[in-house]
Amino acid sequence: MAHVAPWTRRESHCLAVLYGGLAFYEYQDRALWPQFATALQRQPFLPNEQTQINATFSAAVSRLGLRVKRREGSADWVGTAIYHIGIPLSLWEGFLDVCEWALWQPDWEALDDADWRGAMSGRTGGLTRLKTFLCENREAARVKIQEMLGARKVLTEDESLTIDDVKQVCFLRSEYFDYVPETADFLRPANPASLLEHSPRLVWDEQRWRLSLHVPGVAALPASWRIATVLQQAALTPHEILLNSAAFNPALKVRLEEPNGAQEWDLPGSEPWGLFDLSDGRAVNSKREQLPVRAYDLISQGPLASVQREGFDEQE
Amino acid sequence: MKLRRYGESLPERGVFTRPFGRFATAGELASWEDRFQREWDRVQLTDRGRAGALLTVVPNLGEWSRFLEVVRAAWHTWLRGLGENRIA
């Protein structure tokens, strides 16, 4: 039986969420310890510290009734943290591609491990990190793919439904939409913007050369929107808040202050640059490795040292 | 008084990991614990073994940063506690 420091016993949920949050926000390359040390702004953990912390984590998750994953006879702590949160944010975009593949493969769940590995290799291309994740965490991936296909079916069949309406089918974090706007494309291909209009989003107006925040209407007034130094009264109907230079931050903290409380969103900003899809002006995930063939504007506050394009235009 | 470098070994206290910063109060961490516990209690018992069960409890990005600040400030005490309390 684990004997854990009293402080630790009191904070079991904090420790489980710490591991889960690191897995969700920071997961890279099958490792969590470097991100763990960076997040805590300290030196890399020593092996004996890792062992102690993992043992405490094990006791904490047992107390919460969460599973500990095992691999080859020993506990797999990174796999466990990822299993607890589903798909890390850094892998979400590639995961959407796999969901797209599953749409057209009715027997995707029945593939044996070798065929699954082959399919994932083909689907993920050079994204080794994602392929490894999908093969090593097949169960977590399977459950989430099922949920995503279910959510897409419901949202496509009834365009009046919102993300809130499918919460029982599939829990979708707002970060998936904020950092990977293609999430809406997958869930409602015919009208992705309809899924985004219930939360604030950064939009580039190509005609008037301005960056604005499109915000939804609020139910209770008086209320106000605050973004950095910009403060604007909220309205009952959707409207836009002019940001321009205020958009050039690595992240935009958006706060809605209402009579009965406040809500906050953290959106990716346009520093050092932002990429916008000209079909609807919305911001595109700037970390994407490949983009659909569309027209884009690259917006920066100053000259960029090196801008290169590869692909369709150059091969013509 | 001698200034210590980040990461420098201190014979009397182990490794000096926080050259500056603030200390978390017990109340701050307890407040996060209460919140996470409340949210976790809302997850159905039958769902707790499922992949992604904890995701509803992970705070949004802004709150995550604030949570990390509190953890950061409390971490040194916590780690020392681990060393003093053997875990089997």
| B16 has a pLDDT exceeding 80 | no
How many percent of chain A have pLDDT more than 70?
Answer: 91
Q: Hey, what are B29's tokens?
A: 């961490």
Whole-number pLDDT of residue A28? 73
Tell me which chain B residue has its CA closest to the CA of residue A43: B7
Task: Give chain A's mean pLDDT.
Answer: 84
Whole-number pLDDT of residue A171? 81
What's the whole-number mean pLDDT along residues A35-53? 86
Whole-number pLDDT of residue B23? 54
pLDDT digits (tens, 9 = 90+) for A256-302: 998 888 888 888 888 888 888 888 888 887 766 667 777 888 888 88
For chain B, positions 14-33, list CB contacts with chain A under 8 A.
Answer: 15, 17-18, 29-30, 32-33
pLDDT digits (tens, 9 = 90+) for A58-93: 888 888 999 888 878 888 888 889 889 988 888 888
**CA angle in degrees (0–180, nearest 5) for A90-A13-A47:** 65
Q: Which of A145-149, A225-229, A253-257, A303-307 has the lowest mean pLDDT?
A: A303-307
What's the whole-number mean pLDDT along residues B2-9? 40
What's the whole-number mean pLDDT along residues A134-139? 83
DSSP B48: T
Contact A11 B85 (CB under 8 A): no
How many percent of chain A have pLDDT more than 90?
Answer: 24
pLDDT top residue among A116 and B1: A116
- Sheet strands side by side (includes A224-227): A230-233, A224-227, A251-258, A261-268
* Contacts for A3 with CB less than 8 Å, ≥ 6 apart: B85, B86, B87, B88
Q: Which of A1, A64, A140 sits opposite B52 (nearest CB)?
A: A140
What is the amino acid identity at position A12?
A: S
Whole-number pLDDT of residue A170? 79
Whole-number pLDDT of residue A8? 53
Show residues of chain A in contact with B17, CB under 8 Å: 42-43
Whole-number pLDDT of residue A225? 94
Q: Which of B55, B85, B88 sits opposite A1 (nearest CB)?
A: B88
* Contacts for A163 with CB less than 8 Å, ≥ 6 apart: A172, A177, A195, A198
What's the whole-number mean pLDDT along residues A298-313? 76
What's the whole-number mean pLDDT along residues B18-26? 51
| B10 has a pLDDT exceeding 80 | no
Pick from A27, A42, A226, A264 the residue to mutate for testing the B interface (most B CBs within 10 Å): A42
Contact B54, A16 (CB under 8 A): yes
**CA angle in degrees (0–180, nearest 5) for A88-B36-A31:** 30
Nearest-CA distance A127 → chain B (Å): 22
Whole-number pLDDT of residue B12? 39
First to last CA, chain B: 40
Whole-number pLDDT of residue B87? 38
Number of C-beta neighbours around residue A32 at 10 A: 20
Whole-number pLDDT of residue B15? 37
pLDDT digits (tens, 9 = 90+) for B26-35: 678 889 999 9
The pTM of this model reads 0.74
Q: Hey, what are A45's tokens?
A: 């953990």
Contact A284, A291 (CB under 8 A): yes
Structure confidence at residue A99 as a pLDDT band (50, 70, 90):
very high
Tell me which chain B residue has its CA closest to the CA of residue A55: B87
Q: Where are the domains of chain A?
A: 6-85, 89-194, 201-300
Closest CA to B67 of A16, A312, A216, A263: A16
Whole-number pLDDT of residue A288? 66
* Contacts for A134 with CB less than 8 Å, ≥ 6 apart: A95, A98, A120, A124, A141
Whole-number pLDDT of residue B11? 40
3-class SS shares of chain A: helix, strand, coil, % to 5: 45, 20, 35
What is the amino acid identity at position A194?
A: S
Q: Which of A17, A42, A55 sits opposite B58 (nearest CB)?
A: A17
Tell me which chain A residue has its CA closest to the CA of residue B32: A14
DSSP letter string, A145-157: HHHHHHHHHHHHH
pLDDT digits (tens, 9 = 90+) for A3-39: 444 445 568 899 999 999 999 998 876 678 888 888 8
What's the whole-number mean pLDDT along residues A167-181? 81
Whole-number pLDDT of residue B32? 92
Show residues of chain A in contact with B45, CB under 8 Å: 65
Q: Which of B53, B71, B87 sits opposite A40 (nearest CB)?
A: B71
| B4 has a pLDDT exceeding 80 | no
Structure confidence at residue A314 as a pLDDT band (50, 70, 90):
low
pLDDT top residue among B49 and B6: B49
Contact A42, B68 (CB under 8 A): no
